Structure 1
Amino acid sequence: MSLAPPDSDERLFLRIVEAGSLKAAAAQLGSDPSSVSRRLAALETRLGQQLVRRSTRGSKPTEAGARYYEGLAQLVAQQDALEAAVAGGRDEPQGRLHVTAPPEFGVRFVVPVLEQLQRRYPALVVELALGTAFTNLAERGLDAAVRIGKLSDSSLRARKLGVVPRLLVASPAYLDAAGTPRSLAELPEHRVISYLTRSGVNRVRARTPRGDLREVEVRPVFTVNSISTLVRMVEGGAGINLAPRWAFADALAAGRVVALFEDHRFEAYPVQIVYPSRRYLPAKTRAFIESMADSLGRQPSLRQVRPGARRIGE
């Protein structure tokens, strides 16, 4: 395959996948949608494969289109880096960086990194999609995804950035009214509120000070897919929540909530960044990965703490 000049149909195809529709790609290029459609059709005719499914809701790559996107994006990134090196320039982050992250974690930890990265490299255009659904990176034109928890097997690569330690929290008002549980086994007797998970399973797992594993299944009286809502509910005395430590750091420090069973070590979730399995990653993706690793590595609330070592906020 010949290399792709800036105005090639190959680069146009990349733009369509990343923009999500022919109309959006045309707007970005300052072109007519019908012209973009004709050029895409010509590329598909040349390759003998339909690359993109068109619909009124947008455009998504076919299975063949996703494979073509993966390989083509890698070749184009290599070409751009080579041309920059030959021209005496540096392989600096540039172009469109499209990433995804969980909503509230993303606002707290990912947005500051992306803001700083874009200010450092003005030629970089950032697009952040906040969401928890794990989508096919190629289908969405994503360069990387920040995810919390265990990942399903895939062709993607993953780099661990840290962990999300968790702890049981409740407000003093709730404990005054309902009593403080003396053991994890008493949790089912209390009002438990929980983050809404896809599995629908709600278990509390923890290591005791002696290292024994304890597991208790609870039946939440309220589930919601919003961490900020859980914080507000716990502070208001709605019940007990097994929560990410970072979400309650301020409330713990201010005494609005208290941690239960601080001598236990509750199951923590890994924070990972996943990206396409390519031999060569564009400078923009490499810069984002390294910036995230550096930033999260300096976050006290994303480190596992030895039980009893200290309270949050100290």
Structure 2
Amino acid sequence: METNEQIFLRVVEAGSLKAAAEHLGADPSSVSRKVAALEARLGVKLLQRSTRRSIPTDAGKRYYEGMRRLVDEQAALEACVAHEKDVPRGLLRVTAPNNIGDVHVAPVLTGMVDMYPDLKVELILTSEIQDMGEKGIDVSICIGNLPDSNLICRKLIDLPVLLIASKAYLEKRGTPRKPSDLPGHDFLFFNRMQRDTPLEFTGPNGPEKVKVSSKFIVNSASVIRKLNRAGFGISLGNPRAFKGLLDSGELVQLLPEYTLEPYPLYATYVSTAFVPAKIRRFVDLMAAYSAEELTGWGMLET
């Protein structure tokens, strides 16, 4: 049922209690009581009533004009909020590790900015775990197994991983033919987790696990690629990030008959009763992009 104020507006706009009641599907006496209750609360007469017409008094005219504006503004505000529920807008703050932010996350964000003109984006490249609530982070893209938390975690994909080296490095140090050849080689790692985690392979002889050592730990994908090209060691890389260098022959995939354990890629965000459209849409697009673009290198652009 509409409020007493809204019923008063209906009566003024319909011209009579009877017409307003018909529009509302209510009994005229009920409509009359609602207007009378409003007048009693305000302590002023709002309508001059007759058998055929209900004409606003001077006070009623002023009240109608002000209340009409308020009701219209409320309707516009509710429509705006409802629209925000469905259309991404405002600032979207995303964190991602440096080694995937440029090639995996940035293309999705630039696509969203093109699609939604009211959306702004801040992409923060960091491997550190952030307090999302305190830092105002909307979505964090993470690699690897996640610690228990109250965040919503959506798995996007298992990222394929390759062993990659330059021809110069292989000429100097020799080409490994099987996982057991890897200890003693120099590796370029992105973080300590990579350094401390044994490499797990699946190959012709089943699963194999190998512990290797690092020459460099560098939290920059571009620096690792430069060190790779300069012959400083072997790196672990997703096909997307190294496709151009592999296609040109400058870098070489090692042990192609073996498969490395993939890295799970997650999108995490704070659990709330209402998840803004900008977050829902970004996570959906990341999942779709991951499924279409990141599962193999034959489909990828340089």
**Normalised by the shorter chain, which TM-score bucket?**
0.5 to 0.7
Q: Structure 1 residues 107 and 203 mapped into 2: Cα distance closer, same or farther (>3 Å)?
A: same
- Write the deviation string for residues 191-230 of structure 1: whole angstroms up to 9, x where unpaired: 33322225751422111134x2111111212222222112
Segments of structure 1 that go 5 or more residues without pairing to the other structure are 1-78
Segments of structure 2 that go 5 or more residues without pairing to the other structure are 1-73
Q: Structure 1 residues 206 and 86 mapped into 2: Cα distance closer, same or farther (>3 Å)?
A: closer
**Is residue 259 of structure 1 aligned with residue 215 of structure 2?**
no
RMSD of aligned Cα (Å): 3.0
Question: 2:32 — aligned with what?
Answer: none
Deviation at 1:177, TM superposition (A): 2.3
Q: Structure 1 residues 112 and 182 mapped into 2: Cα distance closer, same or farther (>3 Å)?
A: closer
**Is residue 226 of structure 1 aligned with residue 228 of structure 2?**
no
Question: 1:15 — aligned with what?
Answer: none
**Is residue 303 of structure 1 aligned with residue 277 of structure 2?**
no
Question: 2:30 — aligned with what?
Answer: none
**Is residue 84 of structure 1 aligned with residue 76 of structure 2?**
no
TM-score scaled by structure 1? 0.65
Distance (Å, rounded) in 1 between the aligned partners of 2:299 and 2:169: 20
- Write the deviation string for residues 217-266 of structure 1: whole angstroms up to 9, x where unpaired: 11212222222112111222222223222222111111011111111110
**Is residue 147 of structure 1 aligned with residue 142 of structure 2?**
yes
Question: 1:179 — aligned with what?
Answer: 174
Percent sequence identity over aligned pairs: 37
For the pair shown, which has the larger CA radius of gyration, 1 or 2?
Answer: 2
Deviation at 1:97, TM superposition (A): 1.6
Preserved contact between residue 84 and residue 91 of structure 1 (Cα < 8 Å): no
For 2:272, the aligned partner's letter is: R
Distance (Å, rounded) in 2 between the aligned partners of 1:288 and 1:312: 20
**Is residue 288 of structure 1 aligned with residue 282 of structure 2?**
yes
Question: 2:102 — aligned with what?
Answer: 107
Listed as ranges, the matches of 1:97-246 within 5 Å are: 97-198=92-193, 200-210=195-205, 212-246=206-240
Preserved contact between residue 202 and residue 219 of structure 1 (Cα < 8 Å): no
**Which secondary structure does the structure 2 equivalent of 1:258 belong to?**
strand
Preserved contact between residue 189 and residue 195 of structure 2 (Cα < 8 Å): no
**Which secondary structure does the structure 2 equivalent of 1:234 belong to?**
helix
Deviation at 1:150, TM superposition (A): 1.0
Q: Displaced runs of 4+ in structure 1, greater than 4 A?
A: 79-82, 85-90, 310-313
Preserved contact between residue 114 and residue 126 of structure 1 (Cα < 8 Å): yes
Deviation at 1:290, TM superposition (A): 1.4
Preserved contact between residue 113 and residue 119 of structure 2 (Cα < 8 Å): yes
Preserved contact between residue 98 and residue 219 of structure 2 (Cα < 8 Å): no
Question: 2:263 — aligned with what?
Answer: 269
Question: 1:9 — aligned with what?
Answer: none
For 2:148, the aligned partner's letter is: D
Q: Structure 1 residues 151 and 80 mapped into 2: Cα distance closer, same or farther (>3 Å)?
A: farther
Question: 1:93 — aligned with what?
Answer: 88
Moved more, 105-114 or 195-204: 195-204
Preserved contact between residue 252 and residue 312 of structure 1 (Cα < 8 Å): no
